[in-house]
Structure 1
């Protein structure tokens, strides 16, 4: 059963001093990541990640860009992308993805995934070569992207075939670096989502094969399709039960999740601001590495929802969510935290951060409408409320702490 990062029952947490927190406990900076795309300008994406104060990013390494002719690796394109990221002090989650025409489209047709034993063996060699070339203390590796969808696994998703490829690749990677952090599944949605076309529960059951599970460090998920990000928290135990194959407890990470602006889903620009921020906070509340899609919008056509993701627009201009993430990381990004409620009464969610002198700060939000919690006794008389978009602070009014769908930061001070 999953345990959220909860310090104490909510009312008790407000009234009693919280025990000092060990340094090993998670921080927002240790958990948060952002997606890098090949296009638009990668240098602007890297500059944005550094300006935010992030430590982690995710980027794809494509088999067909490296092994352009069978058995010969050309790292030129991949080096051009990864060297600046690593030089900037960012630790990547490298998503290894195929297919490769040399193996999977021998007759000149459209490449399909893992079409033969030669293809599986070729991808495993490629995966091992990636680990050999790109590695570091906080590097992570993910085997494929959303193999449960036809978009990324043609002609039809096949859980058992994916498991064979993932197990072979993971074993080859471990032969190079035994302690590598290797994640499998990389699936769109979660194993307990509505089983549309068999792409979720059915695919997951087929994919969860012992050889793959025993080799992997953990599982990666893309929990899209939720009206409210916080619904992920209520699914954690069911997800764990599904992934707890053979009693082998494994790490779970959110390797991709973001919010577009989309009329067809009634998602506005304000929804994107609020949801993207709450996706990161929800992942933190679950204690999971969480990668936000994306750093920068993939395109400039705002009528295409796929081009509206991002903390930066296509021209590199920050959206309000960029400022919120930056202010949270600047203010409390390195402080250990615990959940105070998930949710509290009235659908209020909250994280409590503890500073070096045990001063408390709180991030609060709701998943719908407005709410409030009693004023915590550990805030002190000089507490301030921070506008996370502008970064400006003002004295915190007396009385309950108000929360809304846009997260708010309350910074404690001396009594």
Structure 2
């Protein structure tokens, strides 16, 4: 694990956070809280599920405009009614759509568009879809997980850059407001250098950012936690920026932990705890512009099937614990800025400082065993310590039962930290 600051704290030391928050924290674009859906193509997933995504605080949804669906007859392109209904529903809920332009055509044997006889019809499809779907689409991804056929194959990487080079001008001509994202690479592709190679080959001449699918749920013990994940992501971020010679916007367009019974799975409470920790840790890397949880709805009912258990909702749209957690934390993810200089981690205790310019919060948890920690603030007038415990998210921000103990302006309070983050309000009079 890395230290998030050069500062260190003693086990019994008092953390005086009022001194740690400086004025003038830079304001960036709101962080994107996204979810992946399958309702654009699956009539068995009702579009009212998008209402649940909106209620949970999502600002963007991601789905597929399959090439094979758009071109059922060679040379005859279409947008099916379900896609238009999905778009209309998203627009009514102010959910920004991300559309994946990819997969294969039945007329090309499902081949990737690497040769002219496949690329030309693919680009025709891109042109048609981006004209038809229009301005509501805010993001387009060029293909999805292109790297799976050969994560370490340099020819596959260079062919992908050539595809983005040819597709991006078409997208921009038809949808100048949309961002073009390249990569959508798997964990294997990231580790095997697929992203480094496409960046080195100049993909950022054509794309607005890099999209990643950095799953770690099967990485093994001590490498499959949110904390080990963010350490890996720091290295990925540094590598991409070094290859590009500049800071590169990163979009985590798929990320989650599945709650299935079996290898690589976690139970539903831990899925919820990991969601909270991962989203807040993602906010500690400025180049990460958003994260789309994969996915909104479970894909089936088999408890031992990984692919059936990634969702925030079960297949009947009943909320899992992770849904309630996302609903509780989403306002703090999108509206608050991370204060890196004043955030501390030591001995598996995480204390992350955030502010929206008016209100200050501390997001704190312990990975591993529970810890009793002292937190500090100023001018709390010996009042109640208010916090949102993500283990009990439906309670919202509430009095904790603890009181601030103040000596003049300086106040402290003991807080028991668990694997579920606690969002502690540090601003007086709120």
- What TM-score, normalized by structure 1, do the two folds share? 0.83
CA distance in structure 2 between the aligned counterparts of 1:92 and 1:176, rounded to whole angstroms = 16
Instruction: Give the alignment partner of residue 101 of structure 2, picking from 92, 96, 102.
Output: 96
Q: Which moved more, 1:32-41 or 1:131-140?
A: 131-140
The equivalent of 1:197 in structure 2 is: none
CA distance in structure 1 between the aligned counterparts of 2:117 and 2:29, rounded to whole angstroms = 42
The equivalent of 1:223 in structure 2 is: 214
The equivalent of 2:231 in structure 1 is: 234
Shift in Å, 1:82: 2.1
Instruction: Give the total of aligned pairs.
Output: 393
Q: Is the 8 A contact 1:382 1:413 kept in 2?
A: no
CA distance in structure 1 between the aligned counterparts of 2:415 and 2:189, rounded to whole angstroms = 37
Q: Is the 8 A contact 1:347 1:371 kept in 2?
A: no
- What TM-score, normalized by structure 2, do the two folds share? 0.80
The equivalent of 2:315 in structure 1 is: 314
Q: Is the 8 A contact 1:182 1:218 kept in 2?
A: yes
The equivalent of 2:270 in structure 1 is: 271
Q: Is the 8 A contact 2:343 2:352 kept in 1?
A: no
Q: Is the 8 A contact 2:37 2:62 kept in 1?
A: yes
Shift in Å, 1:374: 3.3
Q: How does 1:7-406 map to 2 (within 5 A)?
A: 14-16=17-19, 18-21=21-24, 24-27=27-30, 30-38=31-39, 39=42, 40-76=44-80, 77-102=82-107, 104-105=108-109, 111-114=110-113, 116-136=115-135, 139-150=138-149, 158-178=156-176, 180-189=178-187, 193=191, 200-201=192-193, 203-208=194-199, 210-226=201-217, 227-244=224-241, 245-262=243-260, 263-265=262-264, 267-287=266-286, 288=288, 289-330=290-331, 333-339=334-340, 344-354=345-355, 358-371=358-371, 373-378=373-378, 380=380, 381-388=383-390, 389-392=393-396, 393-395=398-400, 397-398=402-403, 399-406=413-420
SS at match of 2:368: coil
C-alpha spacing 1:342/1:221, structure 2 compared with 1 (3 Å): farther
C-alpha spacing 1:148/1:14, structure 2 compared with 1 (3 Å): same
CA distance in structure 1 between the aligned counterparts of 2:369 and 2:101, rounded to whole angstroms = 40
Provide the aligned C-alpha RMSD in A. Answer: 3.2
C-alpha spacing 1:249/1:410, structure 2 compared with 1 (3 Å): closer
CA distance in structure 1 between the aligned counterparts of 2:46 and 2:264, rounded to whole angstroms = 29
CA distance in structure 2 between the aligned counterparts of 1:410 and 1:252, rounded to whole angstroms = 28
Q: Cα deviations across residues 73-107 of structure 1 (Å, max 9, x unaligned)?
A: 211242232221122210012121121122x22xx
Instruction: Give the alignment partner of residue 410 of structure 1, picking from 413, 424, 429.
Output: 424
Q: Is the 8 A contact 1:66 1:73 kept in 2?
A: yes
